Structure 1
Amino acid sequence: MERILVVGVTGAGKSTLARAVSGRLGMPYHEMDALFFNGPGWAVNDKLAEDVSRLAAGPRWIVDSLGHPEVRDLLWTRADTVIWLDYPRHVVMPRVLRRSIRRTVTREVIFGGNRETWREWLRRDHPAWWSWSQHGTRHDEIERRTLDSSFAPLDTLCFRHPEETGAWVASL
């Protein structure tokens, strides 16, 4: 495990797991949303492909994302391990709702100096809506990619419940 992707639907715990694995294995962790959003107003990083290409060329890294479409194949081609948090909706939705409520109420600063707002809860790209609507689609895409020989050899660790994931992290 030298180049790891942690994948799953929004709210599954990808960032939390990636940080934990990074700390245990002493490898650089890169938060995809922080790379993607680089300024106020949810400004998108126009050098995302360059930045991700540079980090993916490194010998050791962990990224907490399936990857935004423009860098997805690059990450999957360079990765040697995929850790898939394949949790059901009844596990993910309370997590994403708690996180978004906390961020909205506390006005927590996230990615590029942005904050979640109550108004954004009405948008289709809000994390809660996105997680609900993309759950099946994301599962299918990750499954397809883990079986796709053009990304081989990929070691895939699939966890279907947080307790399985926690036991695995404890074993590292």
Structure 2
Amino acid sequence: MNKINVIGTSGSGKSTFCKKLAATLDFPHIEMDKIFWGPNWKWPSDDEFFGNLKQALEKTNWILDGNYTRTVPIKWESVDVVIWLDYSFFRTLFQAIKRAAHRAWTKEELWEGTGNRESFRKSFFSKESIIWWTITTHGQVRKKYESYLTNPKFSHIKFVRLKSHKDAEAFLRALS
């Protein structure tokens, strides 16, 4: 288990889990959002994004934090394990709201050097809200991930499906 991608719906706690997993295994933690988002919430071209992702994945060991479906051919080419944080809708919604409120309150920069910060208006009163995204995509993302588990194209990958924080903590304990 050298190359691991942690996936899950928005609000599932991928980054928090990845930080713990990276510390447990002493592997670098690669955050896809950090690779994707530029200053002032600028989106890179796919060529730029894919190139930066390929470069980040050149390491021997890594914990990759994130989804971005269009990157599956790149990130899963050499991945050993995909860990799916498959938490309930209400759990992920609660976590998304809690995270958005915290980030809007503290005004913390999300990815160093980008200046990107969340605001209450953007987090709670916008169609671009991560909360709205969680509400509208949770079901379809879950169906997509379920299809990955049985897709012969991904038979080289070991999938680990964690359905609760308790499962996630037990998984981490078993590794240490």
TM-score bracket for the superposition, by shorter chain length: over 0.9
Shift of 1:68: 4.9
- Change over 3 Å in CA distance of 1:52–1:134 after alignment to 2: same
- In structure 2, C-alpha distance between the alignment counterparts of 1:42 and 1:76, rounded to whole Å: 26
TM-score, structure 1 normalization: 0.92
- In structure 1, C-alpha distance between the alignment counterparts of 2:16 and 2:27, rounded to whole Å: 15
Percent identity between the aligned chains?
A: 26
| Superposed CA offset, 1:11-68 (max 9, x none) | 11101111111111111111111110021x2012342111111223332111111235
Kindly indicate whether residue 126 of structure 2 is the aligned counterpart of residue 123 of structure 1: yes
- In structure 2, C-alpha distance between the alignment counterparts of 1:32 and 1:3, rounded to whole Å: 14
Q: Mapping of 1:145-156 within 5 angstroms?
A: 145-156=148-159
Kindly indicate whether residue 145 of structure 2 is the aligned counterpart of residue 142 of structure 1: yes
Query: What is the root-mean-square deviation of aligned Cα atoms in Å?
Result: 1.4
| Superposed CA offset, 1:51-110 (max 9, x none) | 1112233321111112352x2321122211011110011211111101100111111211
Q: 1:15–1:31: 8 Å Cα contact kept in structure 2?
A: yes
- In structure 2, C-alpha distance between the alignment counterparts of 1:170 and 1:87, rounded to whole Å: 19
Aligned length: 170
SS in 2 for 1:30: strand
| Superposed CA offset, 1:117-140 (max 9, x none) | 122133223111111111011111
Q: Which residue of 1 aligns with 2:53?
A: 52
TM-score, structure 2 normalization: 0.90
- In structure 2, C-alpha distance between the alignment counterparts of 1:54 and 1:148, rounded to whole Å: 27
Q: Which residue of 2 aligns with 1:64?
A: 65
Q: Which runs of 5+ in 1 are unaligned?
A: none
Q: AA paired with 1:96?
A: A
Q: 1:67–1:75: 8 Å Cα contact kept in structure 2?
A: no
Q: Which runs of 5+ in 2 are unaligned?
A: none
Q: Which residue of 2 aligns with 1:91?
A: 91
- In structure 1, C-alpha distance between the alignment counterparts of 2:57 and 2:156, rounded to whole Å: 16
Q: AA paired with 1:33?
A: D
- In structure 1, C-alpha distance between the alignment counterparts of 2:127 and 2:78, rounded to whole Å: 31
SS in 2 for 1:113: coil
- In structure 1, C-alpha distance between the alignment counterparts of 2:121 and 2:84, rounded to whole Å: 31
